[in-house]
Structure 1
């Protein structure tokens, strides 16, 4: 397997560091930043031995899957930097639509409707394929001695294998009929990133990113539950707001804006969140 940057990414000044195996692409990218790397560096591998998801959860990357981290360095407000996760989700979904065959009919993993389309974005950091988890996105950061912010945008994708016996259904690109490899997906991802990060424009284009993200949002208009402030909130997924917070309309009609949490959809929402 060979990893290559898309010509558009190379022309935009991005660089590539590819590995057969790493402990964590995010950790390695941040090490480079602390050693003086100026960013716009992709660190990629088809195997990751000590990857992490949100809240310290393990993210397994067996051989053949994709672990990719984009290192960006600059003067960012933390809240602005956090919205790069939405840029990553859009870039990955663009790449998936570009490389995965379309002959299969999109049906959700639970047999129900598929809000958001075949590849849908689940707030805040997952990409679903036909309703099952395909990818996770994790942002980690470090403040550098000169005051700049180093941000590692980690993207893990189940290309050839996916975990079994998980709380949510999971899938892989191989199961969807994808005949390529992690290198093929990364090539498309590096291309799609260029367009989406330009649209983001250091946060100045966040409203355009928000609107585009909503066109691919999983569960928009559906019943959801989420644990917040020591309770389980339930309602209808209305939108994400100007700060990309999750907005639900509760039974009494009030709007609740949530900055972080695990969202559960549909019929399983009550049981999973409790």
Structure 2
């Protein structure tokens, strides 16, 4: 089947623009916003040629994977828009669990922040990844643009390794196919467009951010584990304690000092031990 919105998403006023191949779903969504699109538009493709991850890194989306971007325009106060990545994480976690009901058999890998016992769900790695078996399965990227006449648009980009994952990465990566899951990008997007509604209702334009934070923490990868965070070329080591009211990553170091980190690269477990050197 082709890409379609879940009926509740259509009823709630969301729209869909689907492509067989695209340069970047985020770039296309922001172009639509600058041309006057009112938002609540999903831009999706099963192949993306010039996608990006955080810090300008390449995010490859070969044929059969999912590249999806939700465009929102003037959806909330601009400082609050940064928290939409956590909303996207909750929605994507729900969609994956709906499409992969046997996820409980997935084991923890080197960067999972836990032991070798099986996990019963997909995990959310701060600030913008979804892990399965301790390996990266999906990434989320927020980009924004100011609009003529005032206001702003935000593109919430979601990339999922459905049939393939990148090789030779500095961290473990996986795909739904490697995990033995059936289904395709179209099925996953259908579930995602539905799951977004519930997550967005909880968020409620930023008013429900504390509820989002509490729900996110229930799925957090590495909570309570040793962690290393690279921040501006420096390494902060300690224990991942929580995310605070502003969704900053809170680390307690060996001296008892709490570090509240707004942006950085996070490593758990074995990778954390080697990350600083």
Normalised to the residue count of structure 1, the TM-score between the two structures is 0.96
Q: Shift of the alpha carbon at 1:254?
A: 1.1
Q: CA shift at 1:107, angstroms?
A: 1.0
- Deviation, structure 1 residue 231: 2.1
Unpaired runs of 5+ in structure 2?
Answer: none
The 1:103–1:30 alpha-carbon spacing in structure 2 relative to 1, beyond 3 Å, is closer
* Cα deviation, residue 177, structure 1: 1.9
Partner Cα separation in structure 2 for residue 101 and residue 92 of structure 1: 14
Q: C-alpha distance in 2, partners of 1:48/1:206?
A: 31
* Cα separation, partners in 2 of 1:15 and 1:79, compared to 1, 3 Å: same
Tell me whether 1:119 sits opposite 2:111 in the alignment.
Answer: no
Give the gaps of 5 or more residues in structure 1. Answer: none
Q: What is the match of residue 267 of structure 1?
A: 270
Q: Conserved in 2, the CA contact under 8 Å of 1:115 and 1:219?
A: no
Matches of 1:115 and 1:219, distance apart in 2:
14
For the pair 1:45 / 2:45, whether they are aligned, the reply is yes
2:238 is aligned to 235
Deviates more, 1:202-211 or 1:99-108: 99-108
Corresponding position of 2:85: 85
1:1-274 alignment, distance < 5 Å: 1-74=1-74, 76-102=76-102, 105-110=105-110, 112-113=115-116, 117-274=120-277
Equivalent pairs counted in the alignment come to: 274
Helix, strand or coil at the partner of 2:63: coil
> Residue 91 of structure 2 contacts residue 195 of structure 2 at CA under 8 Å; is this kept in 1?
yes
Alpha-carbon distance in 2 for matches of 1:50, 1:131: 26
User: Alignment partner of 2:219: what SS?
Assistant: coil
Q: Contact 1:24 / 1:48 at 8 angstroms: preserved in 2?
A: yes
Moved more, 256-265 or 170-179: 170-179
**Deviation for aligned residue 1:79:** 2.5
Contact 2:104–2:118, Cα closer than 8 Å, also in 1 = no
| Kept in 1: contact 2:139–2:158 (CA 8 A) | yes
Deviation at 1:180, TM superposition (A): 1.0
- After superposing on structure 2, the runs of 4+ consecutive aligned residues of structure 1 that deviate more than 6 Å are none
Cα deviation for residue 148 of structure 1 reads 1.1
Instruction: Map Cα deviations across residues 56-79 of structure 1 (whole Å, 9 max, x no partner).
Output: 000000000000000000163333
Contact 1:93-1:120 within 8 A present in 2 as well: yes
**Could you say what secondary structure the match of 1:176 adopts?**
coil
CA contact (8 A) 1:116 1:217 kept: no
Does the 8 Å contact 2:103/2:120 carry over to 1? Answer: no
How many Å separate the matches in 2 of 1:173 and 1:188?
Answer: 15
Deviation at 1:115, TM superposition (A): 9.3
C-alpha distance in structure 2 between counterparts of 1:250 and 1:226, whole Å = 11
8 Å contact from structure 2 (residues 105, 119) kept in 1: no
Q: Distance in 2 between matches of 1:252 and 1:4?
A: 52
